[in-house]
Amino acid sequence: MPIGIRAKQGLTRRQLLVRSASTVALAGLGGLARPYLSRAADRPYIASGIASGDVSTDSAVIWARADRAARMQVECSATESFKTIIGVASSDALPDHDFTSKLLLEGLPPGQDIFYRVRFEDIGAAGISGAAQVGHFRTAPVERRSISFVWSGDSAGQGWGIDPGRGGMRTYRTMLENRPDFFIHSGDHIYADCPIEAELKLPDGDVWRNIVTEEKSVVAHSLAEFRGNYKYNLLDENLRAFNAQVPMFAQWDDHEVTNDWSPIGTADETGYAEDGSSRLVGRAARAFHEFMPIRNLPAQAGRIYRRVGYGPLLDVFLIDMRSYRDSTWNNRDDRSDACILGPAQLAWLKRELAASDATWKVIAADMPIGLISEDAIALGDGPPERRECEIADLLSFMKRAGIRNTVWLTADMHYTAAHRYDPNRAVFQDFEPFWEFVSGPLHAGTWAPGQLDNTFGPAVAFQKGCSPEQGENLAPCFGLQFFGRVDVDGQSEVMTVTLKDVDNRDLWSVDIVPRPDARPGELLAQHI
C-alpha cells in the first residue's frame, strides 16, 4: 500500500529547491512545474479521478490513480486560486498497486476549506507531468460549528451498472448537490460477485444498457478482477465529481469480496494461504485498500474499524462487521461460538466510546441490528442469542458507563428506514433508547422492507422500499435509490436526520435533542 508523506507548511523557495527527488520543484510561488510537451501521450495522466478521505481537524488522505508508473504530486491551499500554497507532498504510483497512490496531508488549518491540486509526473524524467485536477475538502472544526454529512451504500449491484443514457449513478450527483462536509460509505462499494451484462430487460419493456468492461464481466477471483470492479465504478462521471469535492469515510461489507463472506470458510479455486487465511479475501482486501482514501493504521495492517473525530460535536465510529465474525450462518440451532465484532474490536469500541467527549457518537455499521437475516445479527423474537449477545453486551455497557447520544447508521438492506429501539418494547431491556437509520442503495437493485425482531425492541418510524406490485431487485431508474443526510446545529446541538431519495426529495425527518435533563436521543419532533 502506498505510504503517506507528511506535507510541509510554510516552505521557503530555498527549501523547496533542495527537497528530495520525490517532490517536484516549484516553478514559482503557487504552482508545480508545468513543462511544455509536444504530445499529450508523453505525459502521465489521472486515470480514475481524485479523492480525499478520513478528514480530521488538521489532516486528510489524498488518493489518485495514474495511467502508468508515475509520481503523484499534491499541493494544497486555503484558496481556490492557489495563490498561497500551504503544503506540498508526493507519493509514487507503481504497477504493484495498479498505479494507485495515496498520501497523508498533515498540519492543515482546522475548520477550513482546503483545495488540493493533483498531477502525475513521469517517474523517470523529473519535470515532465500531465494535466492537474483540483479537489476540495473541509477540515473538521475545533469550535462548535454546524456540521452536515451524508451516508449510504451499495453501488453497481444486481447487474445494474452504468447506463449513460439514464444519467449514470445519479445518487452521487444528488448527494453532491447537498454540499455535505463528508460522506460515510457504509459498504458494498462494489459487487465483485455480480457481473455486468451489456443489456437488462426492465419490467416496463424498456432496456437498461450498461457500460461493459472485461474485468467487470465475470465474478471476481483474481486481484486484477477485484481492481477492475473499482475502476468500473470510477468510469461514472457523477462518482468522480463527488469524490473530488466530498471526503469519504469508507467501510466495507460483503460484496467487496463475495456474498455473505466470513474470514474463515470463504475460498475460491486457489484455497487458503499457509496461515489459513482465504486468498480470495486477501486479494479483495488489497484492492479495497488500494482504491479507498483510508488511513493506514499502524496498530494493525489493513484494519478498517477506526474512530474519526469531527470536532467537539461529533465522533464517528466506523466498525467492521465482516473481518472478525464467526464463520457460520446466523442460525439459532447452531451452538458453536458466535460473534460479529470479535473481542478485540468490541473492547476497542467500548474504550473509544467511553473516552469520547463529543456531543454525538455516530456508530457507522455495515449491517443493521434488528432486521432478521441469516447473515447479520437478528435471529427473530426472543432473548439475545449468538451474535446478538455482543450487541447486548455493548448496549448495556453504554448504559452503565453513561454514554449518551449515540446514533447508529447503516445501509445494506436496499431500502430506507428509521428504527427506534426502546427497552420498554424489548425482551432484553438493559439499555437506553436509541435510533438506527438505514439508507441505500446508492445505485443497485431495490428490495422490500425486512422484518424486525423484538430482542432490542425496535419499531419502524418510517420505511420505504419496493411494493409487492413492483417486485424486488427494482432497477435504479425507477427512483427508489436512497441516502441519508445528518445535520448537527452548532448552536443548539440538535441532530436532524433526513431520509432522502435520488431526486433529493425529503422523505422523512426527525430532530433529536442531546439535553442533559432528557433521556438519550429524546424525540423532539418529526417531519414528514
Return the pLDDT at 35.
36
User: b/e per residue, 451-475, with b = 16+ CB within 10 A?
Assistant: ebbbbbbbeebbbbbbeeeeeebbb
Q: Give the pLDDT score at 295.
A: 93
Q: Which of 220-234, 242-256, 459-473 has the lowest mean pLDDT?
A: 459-473
Residue 310 C-alpha cell reads as 469531527
124 and 204 belong to one structural domain: no
Task: State residue 125's pLDDT score.
Answer: 77
Domain boundary pick from 117, 138, 159? 138
Residue 3 in domain = no
- What pLDDT score does 409 carry? 98
Q: What's residue 8's pLDDT?
A: 35
pLDDT tens profile 333-373: 888 889 999 999 999 999 999 999 999 999 999 999 999 99
The whole-number pLDDT of residue 300 equals 83
* Domain's final residue, options 120, 138, 156: 138
Q: Check whether 56 has a pLDDT greater than 90.
A: yes
Q: At residue 55, does pLDDT exceed 60?
A: yes
Average pLDDT over residues 7-12: 35
Task: Identify whether residues 117 and 229 lie together within a single domain.
Answer: no
Q: Is 340 a member of any domain?
A: yes
Between residues 1 and 193, which one has the greater pLDDT?
193
* pLDDT at residue 41, rounded to an integer: 67
Residue 5 lies in a domain: no
Residue 90 and residue 180 share a domain: no
The whole-number pLDDT of residue 522 equals 45
- From 138, 164, 197, the end of a domain falls on 138
User: In terms of domains, do 29 and 173 share one?
Assistant: no
pLDDT number for residue 20: 27
Q: Is residue 7 part of a domain?
A: no
Alpha-carbon span 501 to 413, nearest angstrom: 15
| Residues 378, 274 share a domain | yes
Residue 7 has pLDDT above 50, yes or no: no
Mean pLDDT, rounded, for 32-38:
37
- CATH number, domain of 165, equals 3.60.21.70
- Strand-pair partners of 291: none
Instruction: Assess whether 101 and 185 both reside in one domain.
Output: no
Q: What is the pLDDT of residue 515?
A: 62
pLDDT at 449: 96
239 and 171 together in one domain: yes
In this structure, are 522 and 479 located in the same domain?
Answer: yes
- Domain extent, residue 245, equals 147-527
Find the CATH number of the domain harbouring 124.
2.60.40.380
Q: Same structural domain for residues 479 and 334?
A: yes
Residue 1 lies inside a defined structural domain of this protein? no
The Cα-based distances of 229 to 226, 256, 263 in angstroms read 5, 9, 21
Q: Which residue, among 369, 310, 362, 376, has the nearest Cα to 484 in the 3D structure?
A: 362
pTM of the model: 0.90
DSSP secondary structure code for residue 364 in this structure: E
Q: 106 versus 25: which is more confidently predicted?
A: 106
pLDDT of residue 6: 41
Model confidence at 468, pLDDT cuts 50, 70, 90, reads confident
Q: Does residue 4 belong to any structural domain of this protein? A: no
pLDDT in tens, 237-256: 999 999 999 999 999 999 99
The answer to whether residue 427 is domain-embedded is yes
2: confidence class by pLDDT, cuts 50, 70, 90: very low
Identify whether residues 153 and 286 lie together within a single domain: yes
Do 48 and 65 contact (CB within 8 A), yes or no?
Answer: yes
Separation CA 201–CA 266 (nearest Å): 32
Q: Identify the DSSP state of 408.
A: E
Number of domains in the chain: 2
Is 203 a domain residue? yes
Residue-by-residue DSSP string for 23-53: SPPEEETTEE-----S-GGGS--EEEEEEEE
Phi, psi angles (nearest 5°) of residue 42: -75, -15
Domain check: are 31 and 117 in the same one? yes
Choose the weakest-confidence range: 17-31, 301-315, 343-357, 482-496: 17-31
Is the C-alpha dihedral spanning 95, 48, 176, 524 positive or negative? negative
Check if the beta carbon of residue 512 is closer than 8 Å to that of residue 524: yes
Q: What is the mean pLDDT of residues 414-418?
A: 98
Percent of the chain with pLDDT over 90: 80
- Tell me the C-alpha to C-alpha distance, in Å, between residue 24 and each of 28, 128, 198: 12, 10, 43
Q: What pLDDT does residue 126 have?
A: 74
Query: In whole numbers, what is the pLDDT of the chain averaged over residues?
Result: 89
| 105 Cβ contact list (under 8 Å, min separation 6) | 4, 7, 59, 60, 61, 62, 74, 76, 87, 89, 116
Same domain, 159 and 126: no
Q: Which residues pair with 248 in a beta bridge?
A: 53, 183
Instruction: Place 33 in a pLDDT band, splitting at 50, 70 and 90.
Output: very low
